[in-house]
Structure 1
């Protein structure tokens, strides 16, 4: 009985041990390991991040869309190998394989490139305005327009090329323009212009045909003058305030004087640092420098010069010397030298008498002398004044001298004038006639305003009229150009506002 009990106990003990061993084996199963994948999608051309790229991860079947910084992330990934695929319209799909390990969470940067095969280019720009070969009405506010579209509805930008006949189309007039119409300004008169539009969708560029249009001939304008613009002086032509054409733009340019044949305009300019005399055609083209020795004197804006010998030469002051130079820049000749302590400020040649009238100044602009210089070289002083005097001009027959002179005794370092008037000096008896004092009211109802200056008078080509500047003496007001008849009451009629140093362009 005792033996059987012991045998059964042994069997139970053995079974218990086997069970315990089995339980111990289940308690030590290896756990699963997880990781993550992060990264950024970048444009291969611009190296900028790409947003809204669809990221697919296999074999997980999960997907993600990149944020505005191009970033993406997949968390809780079982260790192993994964394939990342990228998709975005207009770009090639990219595929990258990475491995997540127990001690490594991959960080990847994927570069995507443009898929040119998937893009449809813009349509060719058409329907130009102006019509091909058409004419435009002016040289400013000219409308250029065209039609183009994009089949993929991409946003279009445009490069516009605009150039004159004989010019080069290498530099665009404007780039990356977002409208399909453009206003252009500062064209030249009587020119054929070529233009072309390039439509761009960010991937491809499509060129229009080359179109043409013509600008009108230069208008018939009666006067040239100087206007202060943005701190510089520029030269304009006009009939009145509504018909004004700008002729210069580089540097400061003033004192326009038209040639005797009415085909060219000479003027003073600082565009080459020193002051020199330049010549242009009546329409502002054909710029060329005439002088080799600079024009110079006490005050730059006070200087003047003259065409001579029927327009073949120019006479001008350079400190204490008066020079003559051919209009091709050759043959520089000294024709006069001022007295000691004096320098020339302006001059005027008369073809009828072959004489020059010139103004010299002393230490200040209030110390003035007018002198006649004869072809023999003899000089005759015809006026001495301790007041501010303008540059003189001779009448057509050479018998009178026209100039401005301040009758007030005021003086300051700036050379301010208080009551400058127009005077005519008769050379036969040296009598002086105040033309401003005898002027009557004109069609605009104005006499010479009190507290104003009449300046820079010039005879008309036929000698019957005078053009001059009037401006208040406050050194702040805007000057205006006036015309008056030399006889018949001398009515004063304003022609252009904000203008000075006027000259007759034609008559």
Structure 2
């Protein structure tokens, strides 16, 4: 009996002990962790931030206002974590107390918050204050980034002649080629680097000066994207430079050595006007305005320098005008008596003699003759022939006149020439010289001009089909069997 009582007592004591142990766990209990997640610096609430504990209990996400609540978290020590893509994870050590609420606010930075900016670009080529730099130059620089970020660059370019600033953006390499720079011009350049994270970083500013223009004595035209563009080249047909833009139709260039200027024609709306520019294509100025250049065929019209480069002579229908290169002083010089159109003019500065080519509305009934400054006819070179003629150019001493004529005599509505030859007329009575005796059959020689020393002529040779390419050639007057193709796919040459 005593043994049974003892066993009962032991069981009761054990049960009581177990009951006391469970009460202790209940006392340790559960707590709550709540708070808010905001963006560092702006305190903007952050939504969908993952909140979790380590050791793991439960996981929640912040709401649209950035608030979160972790409930029923066993009391104890934890690492509380806030995570969201694009943001730096944030950690807080916490102690959860039973039956208590703990508030934890996270301020989160972007993943790039610790990112460092790139170092300043180092300019390599051209070196600072470099001289005689080509008008097409490759800029070269180096750079490093402490975080190896992908970088983009922009190049800022300005010159000392005007206030224009050019910015070339979205460059992904550490080189950039500048084209179509002006000759004899000082430029300033700077490179800006960006990692799209930090503020852009600028290089120092370097300077360089471009070389002077080459001695290009030949000017001519070439069709580019439907527009005529004026070019220059040396006497070997090399060092070619585009002088006018492809966005405008510019043609019939004429150099003036004394002034270092080139006069030319350019389309302005429905009209054609005279312009002048420097030999490198800079400082373009319109000369004519109220009365433009006009005639039966703009591709055949020609004009002439006058008064040592201070004036220009140009045709407008049946009238010949003189105008200062400044655009002032418009004067009527001559008007045809039969109503025929003046298509070409060339003046000899030494003698004052003016050579004219006139024709009817179709380009025929050609007359080539000379007048003095008073408009009095001096000599007739060509009249009473059928077919097309033109390309007039007086020699330096005024004793000879170079011109072209279609000896086939054909006349048609599209002004197609079949056998255009070059001739030299002597005002002293010497026989007419045909320079085209070795011309390939089926071709035309057009737009002939004397070379500066008048030992050669420069001209265009092209197929008489009217659609083939034009080639600029030269020919020694003393050797008519040796034609030299100087520049291919080009027209309207001038060699001064």
1:199 aligned residue (193, 216, 224)? 193
Which runs of 5 or more residues in structure 1 are unaligned? 1-40, 66-73, 95-111, 438-446
CA RMSD of aligned residues (A): 3.5
Which residue number corresponds to residue 122 of structure 2?
A: 126
Q: Aligned-pair distance for 1:299?
A: 0.8
Which residue number corresponds to residue 397 of structure 1?
A: 397
Which residue number corresponds to residue 442 of structure 1?
A: none
Aligned-partner Cα distance in 2 for 1:225–1:170: 31
Whether the aligned pair in 1 keeps the contact of 2:342 and 2:356 (CA below 8 Å) is yes
Which residue number corresponds to residue 274 of structure 2?
A: 277
Please tell me whether residue 311 in structure 1 is matched to residue 297 in structure 2.
no
Aligned-partner Cα distance in 2 for 1:91–1:454: 78
Please tell me whether residue 334 in structure 1 is matched to residue 340 in structure 2.
no
Please tell me whether residue 493 in structure 1 is matched to residue 493 in structure 2.
no
Evaluate the alpha carbon distance shift between residue 373 and residue 126 of structure 1 in structure 2; reply closer, same or farther with a 3 A threshold: same
Whether the aligned pair in 2 keeps the contact of 1:347 and 1:391 (CA below 8 Å) is no
Deviates more, 1:402-411 or 1:483-492: 483-492
Which string of whole-angstrom CA distances, capped at 9 and with x for unpartnered residues, describes residues 354-397 of structure 1? 12111112120233221222223223543223211123122222
Whether the aligned pair in 1 keeps the contact of 2:81 and 2:90 (CA below 8 Å) is no
Whether the aligned pair in 1 keeps the contact of 2:231 and 2:241 (CA below 8 Å) is yes
Secondary structure class of the residue paired with 1:455: strand
Evaluate the alpha carbon distance shift between residue 334 and residue 303 of structure 1 in structure 2; reply closer, same or farther with a 3 A threshold: same
Evaluate the alpha carbon distance shift between residue 457 and residue 213 of structure 1 in structure 2; reply closer, same or farther with a 3 A threshold: same
Aligned-partner Cα distance in 1 for 2:374–2:129: 59
Evaluate the alpha carbon distance shift between residue 376 and residue 411 of structure 1 in structure 2; reply closer, same or farther with a 3 A threshold: closer
Aligned-partner Cα distance in 2 for 1:412–1:468: 23
Which string of whole-angstrom CA distances, capped at 9 and with x for unpartnered residues, describes residues 158-207 of structure 1? 111122223447441x2121111112221222222211111101122101
Which residue number corresponds to residue 9 of structure 2?
A: none
Which runs of 5 or more residues in structure 2 are unaligned? 1-37, 63-67, 73-79, 92-107
Please tell me whether residue 159 in structure 1 is matched to residue 161 in structure 2.
no
Aligned-partner Cα distance in 1 for 2:189–2:160: 10
Q: Aligned-pair distance for 1:460?
A: 2.4
2:369 aligned residue (362, 368, 371)? 371
Whether the aligned pair in 2 keeps the contact of 1:128 and 1:211 (CA below 8 Å) is no
Which residue number corresponds to residue 189 of structure 1?
A: 183
Evaluate the alpha carbon distance shift between residue 116 and residue 489 of structure 1 in structure 2; reply closer, same or farther with a 3 A threshold: closer
Aligned-partner Cα distance in 1 for 2:481–2:396: 18
Please tell me whether residue 382 in structure 1 is matched to residue 384 in structure 2.
no
Aligned-partner Cα distance in 1 for 2:164–2:252: 36
Aligned-partner Cα distance in 1 for 2:166–2:479: 57
Evaluate the alpha carbon distance shift between residue 60 and residue 419 of structure 1 in structure 2; reply closer, same or farther with a 3 A threshold: farther
Secondary structure class of the residue paired with 1:466: strand
Secondary structure class of the residue paired with 1:480: strand
Whether the aligned pair in 2 keeps the contact of 1:237 and 1:247 (CA below 8 Å) is yes
Whether the aligned pair in 2 keeps the contact of 1:358 and 1:391 (CA below 8 Å) is no
Secondary structure class of the residue paired with 1:372: strand
Q: Aligned-pair distance for 1:409?
A: 3.4
Aligned-partner Cα distance in 2 for 1:224–1:89: 61
Counterparts of 1:3-402 in structure 2, within 5 Å, are 55-56=50-51, 61-62=58-59, 85-88=82-85, 118-135=114-131, 138-140=134-136, 142-168=137-163, 170-172=165-167, 174-203=168-197, 204-239=199-234, 240-249=236-245, 250-261=247-258, 263-271=260-268, 273-292=270-289, 293-379=291-377, 381-384=380-383, 385-402=385-402
Secondary structure class of the residue paired with 2:391: coil
Evaluate the alpha carbon distance shift between residue 64 and residue 151 of structure 1 in structure 2; reply closer, same or farther with a 3 A threshold: farther
Secondary structure class of the residue paired with 1:310: helix
Evaluate the alpha carbon distance shift between residue 241 and residue 218 of structure 1 in structure 2; reply closer, same or farther with a 3 A threshold: same
Aligned pairs, number = 420
Secondary structure class of the residue paired with 2:220: strand
Aligned-partner Cα distance in 2 for 1:480–1:295: 26
Aligned-partner Cα distance in 1 for 2:89–2:474: 75
Q: Aligned-pair distance for 1:313?
A: 1.1
2:454 aligned residue (453, 460, 463)? 463
Aligned-partner Cα distance in 1 for 2:138–2:348: 48
Whether the aligned pair in 2 keeps the contact of 1:260 and 1:310 (CA below 8 Å) is no
Deviates more, 1:310-319 or 1:473-482: 473-482
Q: Aligned-pair distance for 1:336?
A: 0.8
TM-score of the pair, normalised by structure 2: 0.76
